[in-house]
Structure formats: C-alpha cells, structure tokens
Amino acid sequence: MRRRDTNSRRGFLKSTAATTAVTVLSRNAETEAAAEALAAPGPNDKVRIATIGMGIIGFIDTDCALKTPGVELVAAADLYEGRRTRVKEKYGDHVSTHVDYREILDRKDVDAVLLCVPDHWHSAMSIEAMKAGKPVYCEKPMVQTLAEGPDVINAQHETKAVFQVGSQFASSIVFDKLRDMIAAGAIGKVNVVEARYNRNSSLGAWQYTLPLDASPDTVDWDRFLGKAPKRPFDATRFFRWRNYQDYGTAVAGDLFVHLLTAIHHATGSHGPTKVAAMGGLRYWDDGRDVYDAILSLLDYPATQAHPAFTVSLQCDFEDGGGDATSFRFIGDEGVISTDLDSLKLERKGISWPTAEQELKGYNSVQTFSKAQQEAIAAKLAKEPRKASARTAYSGPETFKPPAGYDPRYDHFVKFFTSVRKGDPVYEDAVFGYRAAAPALLCNASLYESKLINWDPVKMQVVG
Ligand SMILES: NC(=O)c1ccc[n+]([C@@H]2O[C@H](COP(=O)([O-])OP(=O)(O)OC[C@H]3O[C@@H](n4cnc5c(N)ncnc54)[C@H](O)[C@@H]3O)[C@@H](O)[C@H]2O)c1
C-alpha cells in the first residue's frame, strides 16, 4: 500500500485538475483537488454505487459518498423491510432495493459497493464482492475474527480489487498534521501513546431503539445470522447486534480499531508485538455478552519508521465525566494532544538539575556528611552541566480543523479516486487487518486472561 506518496499524488491531481467548479465539503486542499478531478468529464465519469446494509452508518456513508462528485446511488440491500422503505423515501423510487445482496453483486450497472453490514458479514461479503469485480468500501473492523484476515488480503491480492477499509481516521487532516509534526521532530522520540474512546449514554452504549414492527415478517432473520449460530428470531440481537459476540467485535473491535488506525497512520507503524487487556461489564448489564469497560496495553517494537513505544487504550461506556475521544502522543521532547477538534503541542523536554538544585534540592546530597557535600560541590563546580539535546523544531504548535470537519468525506474521495482514476488503494486490506487484528487480540486477552504475542509484519499470533 502506498499511503505516504502524497507528493506524487498531489502532482497527479494537479495535472488532472478539472476545470469544472464543484462545491466540496472538505477544506483539505488535497481532498478538494481530488474531488475537482472527480468532477471532470471522462470515460468513467459516473460511479454508480450500491450500499449493502442500510442501517445507521449505511445512510451516513451513502449520504457522504453521494457528496463526492460523480457518484450516484442505484441500489441498496437490507434485511429489515422498514429500512428498504426508507431508502426509497429518501433517495427515490428509481433506487432498487433488495433483500439478497447477491442480486446487487450480479448487476452490471453497479460500479462499486459500500458494505455497511454488521461485523460478522464483513469478510465473506468483501471477498464475494471483490470476486464479482466490484470495488469495495468495507466498514471497519475489516474482519470479525483473526482467521478471516488472510482471506481478505489474499482476495484483494488475487483480484487486484479496489478494496478500502472504512476507518476514516486514516484520512483525517488532524492525524496527517500529527504525523507530519512527529516526523519533523516536534516531540522527539515517541515513547508512549495514550488514547481513549469514552461514552456516557445509553445510545453511546449501543442501546439503539428497536422499531415497533420488528418481527420475522419484517426482518430476514436467517439471512442475518449467516455464519453465526442458529437461534430463534430475536429483535434485540438484530438491532443491537454489537452487544453479542456472535455478530460484533465488542468494544475493542468496534472502537479501538479507530484509535489504532490513527496511531498506525501517525507513526507509520505495522502494529504491536504484545497485547494485554482487562475490563468487564459494570453498568450496561442488559443481557449483552460483551464488556462495557476495557483498558489495554500494547507494546510496539522499534522499527525503521519509529522507536519502541507503548500504547494504552481505554474505552469506558460509563464515564460520568462525559464522552470523549482523545489522544496523547508522548515523546522525550514534548507531547501532542488531540481531541479530534484541536491539536496542541507542548514542548518541555527532559530537564537536568543545576548544580544548586543537585546540592540543595529534592535530592540525596543534603543527607550526606558535610565533608561529602563539600566534596560533591567541588566536583560539580568543575564539571560541565548536562543539558537536554533538543531537536530544532519550528513547525506549528496548534492545529484546528474547520468547524464540522468530517474525515469520512476525505476518505470517500480517496476511495472514488482509486475507483475512477486507478490511484493506489489508500487504506487497503493489509492496513485494515493490521489495525483490526490488535483490536481483536485485546478481546482475546480479556476473555482468556493472558498476554498475547503478535508478529505485526507476518500478521500472525506468536507462540
Ligand atoms: N466508520 C465508522 O465511523 C462507523 C460508525 C458506525 C458503524 N460502523 C460500522 O458499520 C457497520 C454497520 O454498523 P451500523 O451501526 O450501521 O449497524 P446497523 O445495525 O444500524 O445496520 C446494519 C444493517 O445491515 C443490515 N444487514 C445485516 N446483515 C445483512 C445482510 N446479510 N445483507 C444485507 N443487509 C444486512 C441490517 O438489516 C441492518 O439494517 C458495522 O460494521 C460498524 O462497525 C462504522
């Protein structure tokens, strides 16, 4: 995956810059240029999309994709009748709706698919869609289980499909800025990253509203189950599937994957070598079989891209202080913090004491005999004092994306640029798996009470 060749991509976009003026949502110059290029008339000047899974994110992703120039919706699939009705109400009768997504994959007039289905469908549907020749935008996490990763990677490799994972933090201008600041030496050597994704509401804790007409007549339950164990119709499991291990990936798979995507993007990392997690179900005990609070530690080895660092991840659905997603990238020369709406650098570095501080400050010297104190004072007077060697950094210390900035749009522009112009896939299956796998390993560690070793290059559990 060529994710860092922004210079060559910029050059390409400039050379193809369209004359057609378009209004775009992002104030990211690179995205605007790419969106303008997509508006240019050309042999493939329309991308006809179909969305499979018209739930909460299905509508959000479709709306966002449709804001990209040259994209139109021709079909959608969903298993709940009410959502198929809603598709027609919202996008018009000309959009065909389907229960069986395979009908969409068979259609020649569908140029690309968005997969917005629950996690237990991601890998099978992605592979089928790629084999059917469709470019795929698959929501995160790329896979529900560790074992599914290599199959998706192989399918992308074999079919050469445009396959982009929908973790939009990878396209965020906030994390681009963070990456550039780290690369420019703003914090020296990164040694710890703290990240959290906390919530304090029932909706945040996945207690989504069930429709009043939910029944086996309005929901294709058997089709929903797919590879999951057979069981009788259960509307709660269908509409709140995240709360059950059979369909979702628990808090870590669902939300840590965003944090890891951002961390891997900002540091250029392939992933950790050690993963450990603890947590439990403490508040939202509504019949779910997943935890609602988790803390994880992940150890990253030194590579050519970055020094060794340790990551702590937190997701707490009962954070009485309010919901918050935030990161602190800690280096020996400074710290960059972001809450996604702003980014701030603090540079203090490591401090060394003056001779005065060493002799009189909070230190051992004053506990020594007078003779020793005098001897140390005389020695210090002759020695040069240590000072921290700071990297020269003259870049920005703060950054704020435009109000209402949504990296999802930037992510979709990248996807459609790959579909239309053949640009390298931005967040491909390898990147997607390298972000999903450690998140899934957090679940394994929590469930099995053990530390797990991982080879992030070979993408395999070790031992
Ligand atoms: N990138 C993000 O920020 C983001 C945000 C939310 C959700 N997501 C991801 O999007 C996916 C969907 O989440 P959601 O919150 O929209 O769930 P949801 O329950 O609101 O919607 C899922 C929809 O998929 C449909 N579906 C299930 N199996 C299907 C099948 N075999 N064929 C056709 N339709 C099927 C269901 O009928 C349902 O309407 C999840 O994987 C989730 O992790 C990503």
> Is 248 near ligand 1, meaning CB less than 6 Å away?
no
Alpha carbon distance 348, 338 (integer Å): 17
Averaged pLDDT, 219-238: 98
pLDDT value of position 44: 61
Using DSSP bridges, classify how beta strands 136-139 and 112-115 pair: parallel, antiparallel or unpaired. parallel
Mean pLDDT of the chain: 92
The answer to whether residues 392 and 349 touch, using CB atoms and an 8 Å cutoff, is no
Half-sphere exposure of residue 324, counting CA atoms within 13 Å on the CB side? 15
Which residue has its alpha carbon closest to ligand 1 atom 7?
A: 57
pTM, two decimals, is 0.92
> Look-up: residue for tokens 């209402």?
404
> Look-up: residue for tokens 């469908």?
121
The answer to whether residues 38 and 420 touch, using CB atoms and an 8 Å cutoff, is yes
Expressed in angstroms and rounded, the spacing between residue 155 Cα and the centre of ligand 1 is: 22
Alpha carbon distance 293, 315 (integer Å): 6
- Mapped onto helix, strand or coil, the DSSP state of residue 251 is helix
Q: Is the pLDDT of residue 438 over 60?
A: yes
**In Å, how far are 85, 92, 263, 447 from 218, measured between CA atoms?**
11, 21, 41, 35
Q: Is 355 exposed, middle or buried (0-12, 13-18, 19+ CB in 10 A)?
A: middle
Residues in the chain: 463
Beta strands in 243-300 (DSSP E): 274-280, 293-300
pLDDT value of position 45: 77
Alpha carbon distance 185, 395 (integer Å): 9
**% of the chain with per-residue pLDDT over 90:** 87
> Is 9 near ligand 1, meaning CB less than 6 Å away?
no
pLDDT value of position 16: 30
- What are the residue ranges of helices labelled H in 240-334? 250-251, 257-267
Alpha carbon distance 412, 68 (integer Å): 7
With CA atoms as reference, report the closest residue to 260 among 165, 127, 187: 165
pLDDT value of position 29: 74
Beta strands in 29-129 (DSSP E): 47-52, 71-77, 96-98, 112-115
Per-residue pLDDT reduced to its tens digit, 263-288: 999 999 999 999 999 999 999 999 99
The answer to whether residues 170 and 426 touch, using CB atoms and an 8 Å cutoff, is yes
> Is 80 near ligand 1, meaning CB less than 6 Å away?
yes
42: confidence class by pLDDT, cuts 50, 70, 90: low
Per-residue pLDDT reduced to its tens digit, 84-136: 999 999 999 999 999 999 999 999 999 999 999 999 999 999 999 999 999 99
Q: Is the pLDDT of residue 346 over 80?
A: yes
With CA atoms as reference, report the closest residue to 432 among 89, 68, 98, 161: 161
Ligand 1 atom nearest to 57, measured from its CA? 16
Averaged pLDDT, 407-436: 96
Name the token pair of 143: 């896979």
Out of 80, 116, 136, 145, mutate this one to test ligand 1's pocket (max ligand atoms within 8 Å of CB): namely 116
The answer to whether residues 189 and 429 touch, using CB atoms and an 8 Å cutoff, is no
> Is 135 near ligand 1, meaning CB less than 6 Å away?
no
Backbone angles phi, psi at 373, to 5 degrees: -60, -40
Expressed in angstroms and rounded, the spacing between residue 80 Cα and the centre of ligand 1 is: 12
**DSSP state string for 414-448:** HHHHHHHH-PPPSS-HHHHHHHHHHHHHHHHHHHH
Alpha carbon distance 126, 155 (integer Å): 9
Name the token pair of 286: 């509504």
Q: Is the pLDDT of residue 184 over 50?
A: yes
Name the token pair of 41: 């008339």
> Is 56 near ligand 1, meaning CB less than 6 Å away?
yes
Ligand 1 atom nearest to 99, measured from its CA? 33
pLDDT value of position 62: 98
Which residue has its alpha carbon closest to ligand 1 atom 38?
A: 55
- What are the residue ranges of helices labelled H in 67-133? 81-91, 101-106, 122-131
Q: Is the pLDDT of residue 400 over 50?
A: yes
Half-sphere exposure of residue 147, counting CA atoms within 13 Å on the CB side? 2
> Is 53 near ligand 1, meaning CB less than 6 Å away?
yes
All structural domains of the chain, each given as residue ranges with its CATH number in brackets, are 6-168+407-430 (3.40.50.720), 173-350+388-404+436-462 (3.30.360.10)
- Mapped onto helix, strand or coil, the DSSP state of residue 212 is coil
